[in-house]
Amino acid sequence: MVVESTGPIVGRETELAGLREALRTAASGTGQCLVVEGLPGIGKSRLLQEAAREAGRLGMTAALGRATELDRVAPLAVLLSALRDSLPAVVDSADMAALGGLGGQEANRFWLVSRLGDLIEEYARTRPLLIALDDAQAMDELTAFTLQILVPRLRGCSVMWLLARRSPSAQSPRYDVVGRLLEDGARHVALEPLGSDAIAQFCSHALGAAPSPVLAGLAADSGGNPFLLGQLLNALEDSGRLHRADGRVEVVGSDTLPGDFLSAVDYQLRHLSVPTRRLLEAGSVFGRPFLLSEAAGLLGERGVALLAQVEEAVGAHVLVDDGTALAFRHDLIREAVYDGLTGSVRRALHEEAATVLEASGRPRAETALHLIRGACRNSPHTITVLCEAADEVASTSPSTAADMMLEALDILPSDDPKAPSLIARVVSLLAASGRIPEARELAGVALHRNISRVQEAAVYVGLADALKHAGQDAMAVEYTRRALAHPGIPDAVRGRLLAVQAHALLTGDDLTGAEAAATEAMVLGEPETAVYAGAARSSAARIRGRIEEAVSLASDAVQLADDAGRDARHRHPRLWLGRALVAADRFGEADAVFELGEGDARTLGSAWSLPLWHYGRAELRMMAGQLEDAQAEALAGKAVAEQLSAHAIVPSLLGILGQVAIHRDELVRARGLFRDARRMVDSGCGVVAEDLAWLQAQLAYAAGDPKAAVTALSGVYEQLEDRPLLLTQVAWASPGLVRFALDAGARLEAEAAAAAARRLADSTPKNVSLTAAMHHAEGLLNDDVASLHAAVETYRTSPRHLARGIALEDAAHAEARAGRRTHAVALFEEALGRFTHCGATRSVARVQRALRALGIRRKKWQSVQRAQTGWDSLTDAELRVVRLVAEGLTNRAAAERLFLSPHTVDTHLRHAFAKLGVSSRVELARQAMVHEADEEPAGA
């Protein structure tokens, strides 16, 4: 007799009911995520099996996988295999090949996960899907990354995620995506030990008769753990100690019974032959399902010589043979066998396993794991294999690769000449994984060693580049300066250090230093360095207000990258060209550049650049007065940045979101966004000073404190002559600076702002927005109606609609003060139309109050503000996305149709879901059909 994993689940009626409800909800179109948690053997796997059966009854496809401790040697393999082996398959062989190609390219794990999400989304359009992962605490880094992205992304699809993990979780906090999913709203199912009634019911089902009081008492010693209880019953049955009579099962004999799991397993295994136990010990070392040939290799036997042992182990229900590999019936049995090995035997088996696996061509990472656990851990060969294994997984699992290289460093003698280059590589991997403190500590250790200048520079380059990527600009400057202070550094390395330093300095107050570093880098460096340095020079020119020069320098960098190809293209100079074009009022060209650049990034696999493309478009939409679209781009950029641990751009994205919130009269939210951005900056994340100062000033002014606004901008006022960046970024900044200063009684600051606006306009005569801003600033400074009208007229040919609305409002106030009511009303109403078009709720309300003060009250104002819910609340961009999704298009297909990023489409879709009160694409499509029918004219 053996307790099988079939039949009813005892004592889990409540959990089963919740599971079935979640499956039905997912089958109807609303994504679900459940986390089943409990002690080993408590019944998690059994619950997942029942979920798969229930999914089949509901017409859902079930994709089941089980993570193991060795999954890190083949990132994402378990999840991909589950999706491939489902019936019908979610991903076919062609899809698997394409995904494998993506995973093999540097920095492409984001694209791999994105493509996998597309495939799941496409599949779920026609058939609901259950994806279940057992032993989730052992999942690899890439699988954790995949769940982090896809679970929230697919909430509107017919997909249910079911994750089972042990409690307390043994998973590394770095990969504890399950915990983050729980924080984000995933449902938690905690499996508790069975009660006494459930234990008795379990025994009755397993034995075919009710247990006697004595047996029931023994069964209670299992602590209510179903697996341990089953092992105890198996042990009693196999030893002939159960006797059935009169509809009850009695226990006979007086031997001591196994009182815990380990002794229960030992009790069961002691009846097996010694050769069979040796087979089990060899198999336990692999930590995964194993081939008979692999176990035979460890034992020095031919596979055919072990057939009898395999039959005995399978017959005793210790191993399961799936026709391809052998696996322990439960991982707890494998752990018990493995833990029973003495230390010397365990090390010898691991050493032999490494030899067997290396000969059979298994991944280097798996071989490496056995080497570091074996008797030859400190051999040079182990170091070589660890480094090769790290290279295999670095593109998809940088943190795992870093851990492997740290193992190699721990073995490598400190005076080994290979140590510095290895440290430089580990530093980059640690920083790319967001493990900045570890990266700095390791670099510090390396720099205190007796290493050459070239090796020292390589460490500095790796750390500085990684710190810049992580947004730690001040640290990046510090490390590049240390490195550059030493003579004898090769020109190529020196150029790269200077280029990184130039970009890091751009967020500080040493603009001259940034320009000098970038100029020298272009002379010393290779094409990749020259492109990166050219982008820094373009940024510096834009900060100084030399907009045409910024466009020219960025254009040269783009041309150089296109000509040089390869590594130079990975610097993506179109990011800086697009921003320069926005400053130059060339919005259409900027949009095209951003689209082309992001497409290039996808081709090259440069995932790090994704948040920057979103920021560029968010800034463009903001300046165009498309507030909701700016918010969607900024939110998409922030989400991607957090997924990639690319925090450098997040404070600036928060700044844009804060500005949008102010214009939409969401001041509480804007203050929260400012605090978040300030917290990041205080922790060392670099950001140009103007971004936060401008947001802080607007919040102060909105709160009725113009003096606080001027104080927040004190550094900006002081540097306007050499650094008019804010005036090039925000068209209404110069009149805003004048307004704040005048209301605070700071006439000198107001005059400085107006003078800066004139200098900028005079130096850039083709930029109509800067000319209009100059007229606007001077009109406010001098209370000059003619200048304000000149601003309005100039803005009529500008793409900056929100700036035009602000100028119209100020001109209207000037006309009202002059007693020209009719002119004032006309200007106010035109401003109202601009603000309404832009979605600037705060300005709409302000203009309405001004019109009421002039005696104008109109019922149509009730419809000026966009509805908060329902179809009328959708923006044009959201409506376009909704229509395509309702037609059945996936996010990526809709993005391609609309020339948007899939992440922006996802943001629009989530906003539409919230406004329409729906939670699935199915429900969205249903509502869209009803809405379109209601909108259809009679007789159509």
CA distance 443 to 446: 5
Picking from 77-81, 297-301, 471-475, which range would have the lowest pLDDT averaged per residue? 471-475
| Mean of pLDDT values over 766-791 | 96
| Mean of pLDDT values over 50-60 | 95
Confidence of residue 107 (pLDDT cuts 50, 70, 90): very low
Please state, in angstroms and as integers, the Cα–Cα distance from residue 748 to each residue in 448, 475, 522, 706, 718, following that order: 53, 37, 40, 15, 11
Higher-confidence residue of 903 and 800: namely: 800
Model confidence over 167-200: pLDDT tens digits?
765 455 556 788 889 988 899 999 999 998 898 8
Contact predicate 279/309, CB 8 Å: yes
Contact predicate 499/536, CB 8 Å: yes
Confidence of residue 105 (pLDDT cuts 50, 70, 90): very low
The pLDDT value given to residue 101:
65
Residue 162 has pLDDT above 70, yes or no: yes
The pLDDT value given to residue 373:
86
CA dihedral 587, 592, 597, 603 (to 10 degrees): 160
The pLDDT value given to residue 106:
42
Contacts 24+ apart (CB under 8 A), 477-482: 477/501, 477/504, 477/505, 477/508, 479/443, 480/504
Residue 940 has pLDDT above 70, yes or no: no
Residue 882 has pLDDT above 60, yes or no: yes
Instruction: Report the predicted TM-score, pTM, of the whole model to 2 decimal places.
Output: 0.81
Model confidence over 687-732: pLDDT tens digits?
888 999 999 999 999 999 999 999 999 999 999 999 999 999 998 9
Quote the Cα angle for 15-16-21, to 5°: 100
Contact predicate 623/616, CB 8 Å: no
CA distance 770 to 547: 11
Picking from 142-146, 751-755, 868-872, 931-935, which range would have the lowest pLDDT averaged per residue? 931-935
CA distance 683 to 475: 11
CA distance 639 to 633: 10
Query: Measured in whole angstroms, how far is the alpha carbon of residue 563 from the centre of its chain?
Result: 33
The pLDDT value given to residue 856:
87
Model confidence over 404-430: pLDDT tens digits?
899 898 888 877 878 877 887 888 788
Contact predicate 656/634, CB 8 Å: yes
Picking from 255-259, 330-334, 768-772, which range would have the lowest pLDDT averaged per residue? 255-259
Please state, in angstroms and as integers, the Cα–Cα distance from residue 588 to each residue in 6, 432, 615, 708, following that order: 64, 34, 16, 37
Q: Is 406 left (phi over 0), alpha (psi -120 to 50) or beta?
A: alpha
CA distance 600 to 568: 12
DSSP state of 137: G
pLDDT more than 70, % of the chain = 93
Amino acid (one-letter) located at 42 = I
Q: What is the mean pLDDT of the chain?
A: 88
pLDDT more than 90, % of the chain = 51
CA distance 520 to 145: 39
Higher-confidence residue of 816 and 469: namely: 816
Selection from 584, 831, 840, 835 nearest residue 698 by Cα: 840
Confidence of residue 371 (pLDDT cuts 50, 70, 90): confident
Tokens of residue 432, six digits: 């790319």
Bond preceding residue 168 cis, omega within 30 of 0? yes
R_g (Cα) of the chain, nearest Å: 33
The pLDDT value given to residue 264:
64
Picking from 273-282, 435-444, 666-675, 757-766, which range would have the lowest pLDDT averaged per residue? 435-444
The pLDDT value given to residue 322:
85
